[in-house]
Amino acid sequence: MPPQPPPTLADRRELWVLKLAKLPRIRFRSTQKADYTEFYEDYFQGQDVAAYTVDQRMRVRHEQLADALRKYVVLGGSVLDVGCGLGDVLASLPTGYQLNGFDFSKNNVARAASRLGPKANVVQGSIYEIPFPTASMDGALCTEVIEHIEDDEKAVSEISRVLKTGGHLVTSVPWNYWWPEYVELMGHFRHYTRDSFSALLRANGLEAVEFLPNWPRWHRAYNKGYPWVRAKHIVFGRLTGSKNLYDFKWPWSSKPSIEKLEARLEPLLQKDRSLDYATLPTSTTIVARKVPG
């Protein structure tokens, strides 16, 4: 991994927040098959399904992916979601595409298949041996997956293999400071910059054609406010009758606390939409085209 600039106070705060968030969850121990399987079979939990439908960070991402798909993949084309998790991205995509997905976790595949029904073909498989034929996909999505893969070169090479020449990949990876603790907490082997991620894609026949917004200041501000909403819900949720943090509000308030946070940060989100992402080192949400090779 290329050298990183010194960590900022915001980087240190993000690590602290992540440690708190992951307290009750299993730790990543090793890449041995048994440890790897145990970690990812339990990676997503029941509350994650609900969060993916109401969390503004997820809604913004889903809208962005749907827009990119419409722009770069012809209607009726075949699309693969690489590491589809619980199927939240596939569930949010527009109709009219041949949707496919795969995931390493058998639990995720079962949940996603049940959730999506006939909308998508979801199977179990490894990113090192993607279970779809060569040059079978007009488009692919791969969001927040490659940082989890020890051999990212091999993973991207496989994604490139299943894409048709001229097909497009819409992909994202974390841009924030990488701490060694991220391996144990999240299974993240590295994070990226615009340049390092573009180079990885290019080395595997995928040329960046657009850098999409990843709203760096808004994400950081949201991640700073979110833990306080979560803490209030943990301490006072039972007293207020809130089943989850997304509906937690004080008795005298007309709106849930999370909605107040989102409203307060909306101007920052709009400012981040106008940034020139082609020049920002944080621009690690990329549309790439498979070039002849």
Q: What is the tens place of the pLDDT at every residue in 28-51? A: 888 888 888 888 888 876 666 667
Domain boundaries, the chain: 26-213+277-290, 218-273
What is the reported pLDDT for 38? 87
Share of the chain above pLDDT 70, in %: 97
Q: How many residues does the chain have?
A: 293
Distance between CA atoms of residues 278 and 161, nearest Å: 26
Output the CA–CA distances (angstroms, integers) from residue 21 to 66, 240, 255, in the order listed. Answer: 29, 22, 24
**Would you identify the CATH topology of the domain 26-213+277-290?**
Rossmann fold (3.40.50)
**Is the CB of residue 89 less than 8 Å from the CB of residue 65?**
yes
pTM attached to this predicted model? 0.93
